[in-house]
Amino acid sequence: MVSIELTQGLSIGLARPLFLLALPLCTAAVWALIYRATSGAASATSRRWLLLARVAVIALVVVSAAGPYTAQSRETAGDPRVTMLVDRSDSMAVTPNVADRLTESIESAGVSVRRVPVGANASSPIGDAVAANVRENGRVVLVSDGRVTSGQSLREAAALARSVNASVSTVSLEPRTRERYVTVEGPEKASLGVENRFAARVDGVGPNTSATITVRVDGEPVLERTANDAPTTIPFNQTFESTGSHTITAEIDVTDRFVANDVYRKTVRVVERPEILYVSPGDYPFREYLGELYDVTTAEQVPENLSPYYAVVVQDAPAGSIGNVDRLQEFVIDGGGLLVVGGLNAFAGGDYRGSEIASMLPVSVGEGQRRATNIVLAVDVSGSAEEGMRIQKSAALSVLGQLGDENEVGLVAFNYQAYRVSGIEPLSQNRGELQDKIRRLRAGGATDIASGISGAAELLDDRTGTIILISDGGDNPERAAEIASRLSERGIRVITVGAGERVNEETLRTIAGAGEGSYFRATDTTRLGILFGGAGSPGGSGLVVLDRNAFVTSGVTLTASPAAFNAVSVRPGANFLVAGSDGQPAIATWRYGLGRVATVTAYGEEGTLDGLLRDPDSLLLTRTTNYAIGDPERKATGIVGLPDTRVGVPTTVTYRSQTRPEIGNLSFRRVGEETYRATLTPRETGYFRVANATYAANYPEEYAAFGPAPALESLVEETGGREFTAGQGAQIARFAAKRARGVRPVRTDWTWLSLLAGLLVFTAEVSYRRLQVRRRKTTSDGGLP
């Protein structure tokens, strides 16, 4: 098919242009018949006119075979029909049934409705249903709470709907029936004799009511409380005095819609305290702190035999007094942990520079010069970001302001594709130009974060560097995370900054995690100054968490103000987790061989850890030590992993042994050296035993959340739909009619006109020659066909 635009909104074309190839062949054949294959008295002029007439006829016939048409843009009413997806799963039982009334209201306004039931009982494949029912330029109305329990997510479904220009609208349903459910949060593994913190949580929807919650540990009551509001979180501490599997059961006594979610079960696997070696020439309070949590052996130097230990802690020790560093290096490479704590006699004060111990650490001794980094700002200018564009620009300018002049910075903007705004140049030369270009960005179009990341990577070309993505996260993270992961292998890190009216932090955290970067809120961009040589937080006196996604820093609150820092700089490839207010490294980690190494380079006036040993800051030290220790059961045999699950959801049994285990009907597969795994799926709730381990099977996900899911709002925004109430059937009909109406090309086929014109030319030519014969101006034996 080919076409040519004559004017705006009007074009002509041929549906089957290949038929035009027949025109020269047919023309040659007619010429041969007239000039070569005939004889007679016809004059040259007669032959010439006959040739022209027959060629005209052939041309018109060939053009008609090629399918001539015109296309003109006209406003059409379209087909405003609506596909209504009605959620029939159990979680909808707390909301009023409005589907029948809504259907009648829409159809009474002249718009037909096709109803499709979705889900049943404990199954809510809402995303699959949306994906299966979107049509090009179609309209879907979703009557659901959006609580997906199986199949693809609503974000994935939204991406598909957007690709075919289909809108998905929702009907807001507020829960009217009372429903409460209970959960328990806390660690899966605990050390023997160490106090651990747990929390029982009562949540739900509907009218307020009192719910009595009872918590039992190994069947014995440890807590009973009344919760009058939802949500209510009740923390409690528990110390386990024996190893093995222990159970925590929380139960609520309440009158509500479902009883299946009134009991929650959790197992805690208690292991012996990990053995760690503490090496220090001095006597520090940190040794006593470690002794409360771990089985600690104290030594002045690292010995030859480190096999009993999970980690080695070295505090304020000069390089020459640490001991057998060669053995320590082998220990870490083989999977052991190392925590080096600074002080007056460590790092620069302990002659670490050039020593064997220094090669293992995630920091270099001495304050490093600021390194120039290649940075690309990728700013979301899509339609989903339009309402928060002011915030996006402000965040982008704030990020730019935190970057030191030694960096080289470029800029791309993106919606459904990436746009190069500014190449990578030294920030000292183009800071003002970048600021101006950021201020002039305009929003519009669909969102494709993956395209934005790819565009930023293209700007970096073959250079290593960092992409700082500034977005509201209004997109499916999977493809973007996949690209970010591939870029991390090339030495390109992806940092995300959440900015906009409504930010999907989960999406941005996922992308940052895949890209080995960090997620920052728009209000936290001052932390970027520490990472990239900017101003940081001048005048501050505390510690700054740079990456809250890391195990060490997640959920940590810091109030201490260390008096001193060792003069170190974080090495490329290491994780810079905590800094002083002026950017001095405080906590850094990295992997060394199979092991883990962490450094603490902040300390008090006398070389102690001072305020870091007090609550709540002490959690940072515990987490850092646990990071170095790693898996506290990595030296154990038998079942070392059996997570809790829900009914119908598989869980994995991890078994460590020299030979393949045989336990019941489980089929184990080898996944590593002396490591085997098998899966099992519980069919009912309760505690279940596998060999010497216990796991819990809880109520289905369907009963773990009620009311509208936050993902519904994103679904509507990303697909151009609207949120309606149950009483707005007429408005839904008008919206559908408006969406269906539009300016579309209307094609008119002109095949008949070409055939008619050919017939008229042929008839005129034959009639003219017959008339000439009758008038005796020519003869019938002229030899013309």
When the pLDDT of each residue in the chain is averaged and rounded to a whole number, the result is 88
Q: What distance, in Å, lies between the first and last C-alpha atoms of the chain? A: 35
Tell me how crowded residue 155 is: count the other CB atoms within 10 A of its CB. Answer: 22
780 pLDDT higher than 70: no
* 8 Å CB contact between 416 and 382: yes
Cis? peptide before 362, omega within 30° of 0: no
Q: What is the pLDDT of residue 706?
A: 93
Q: What is the pLDDT of residue 449?
A: 93
H-helix or E-strand spanning residue 28 = helix 22-35
* 8 Å CB contact between 716 and 169: yes
* 8 Å CB contact between 146 and 706: no
* 8 Å CB contact between 233 and 272: no
Residues 253 and 227: their CA atoms lie apart, in Å, by 10
pLDDT in tens, 638-678: 999 999 999 999 999 999 999 999 999 999 999 988 899 99
415 pLDDT higher than 60: yes
138 pLDDT higher than 50: yes
pLDDT in tens, 23-50: 888 888 878 877 765 555 566 777 777 7
DSSP string, 440-494: T----S---HHHHHHHHHHHHTT--EEEEEEE---S-HHHHHHHHHHHHHTTEEE
Long-range pairs for 748-753: beta carbons < 8 A, 24 or more residues apart: 748/69, 748/70, 748/71, 748/72, 749/15, 749/67, 749/68, 749/69, 750/68, 750/69, 750/70, 751/64, 751/67, 751/68, 752/64, 753/68
Classify residue 772 by burial, with Cβ atoms within 10 Å: 0-12, 13-18, 19+. Answer: middle
Phi and psi at residue 92, in whole multiples of 5°?
Answer: -80, -5
Full 3-state SS string of 488-542: HHCCEEEEEEECCCCCCHHHHHHHHHHCCCCEEEHHHCHHHHHHCCCCCCCCCCC
pLDDT in tens, 560-614: 999 899 999 988 888 899 998 878 899 999 999 999 999 999 998 777 898 899 9
Residues 401 and 395: their CA atoms lie apart, in Å, by 10
Q: Would you place residue 303 in the very low, low, confident or very high pLDDT band (cuts 50, 70, 90)? A: very high
User: Which of 92-106, 152-166, 731-745 bottoms out in mean pLDDT, i.e. has the lowest?
Assistant: 731-745
Phi and psi at residue 143, in whole multiples of 5°?
Answer: -105, 90
74 pLDDT higher than 80: no
Q: What is the pLDDT of residue 450?
A: 92
Average the pLDDT over 359-372 and give the result: 79
Residues 195 and 31: their CA atoms lie apart, in Å, by 104
CA 186 to chain centroid, in Å, comes to 25
CA distances from 676 to 53, 659, 682, 694, 695 (A): 87, 9, 20, 18, 18
385 pLDDT higher than 70: no
Q: Which amino acid is at 429?
A: Q
* Dihedral sign (CA 698, 703, 709, 715): positive
Phi and psi at residue 495, in whole multiples of 5°?
Answer: -105, 140
- What residue has token string 């950021």? 438
694 pLDDT higher than 90: yes
Q: How many CA atoms lie within 13 A of 671 on its CB side?
A: 14
Q: Would you place residue 403 in the very low, low, confident or very high pLDDT band (cuts 50, 70, 90)? A: confident
State whether residue 386 is helix, strand or coil. coil
Residues 440 and 382: their CA atoms lie apart, in Å, by 14
* Dihedral sign (CA 7, 11, 17, 20): negative
Q: Encoding tokens for residue 734?
A: 């008008």
Residues 341 and 333: their CA atoms lie apart, in Å, by 20
* 8 Å CB contact between 541 and 514: no
Burial 394-430 (b: 16+ CB within 10 A, else e): bbbbbbbebbbeebbbbbbbbbbebeebbebeebeeb
Measured in residues, the chain has a length of: 785
pLDDT in tens, 505-552: 888 989 998 888 888 888 777 777 777 765 554 444 589 888 887 889
Phi and psi at residue 217, in whole multiples of 5°?
Answer: -110, 120
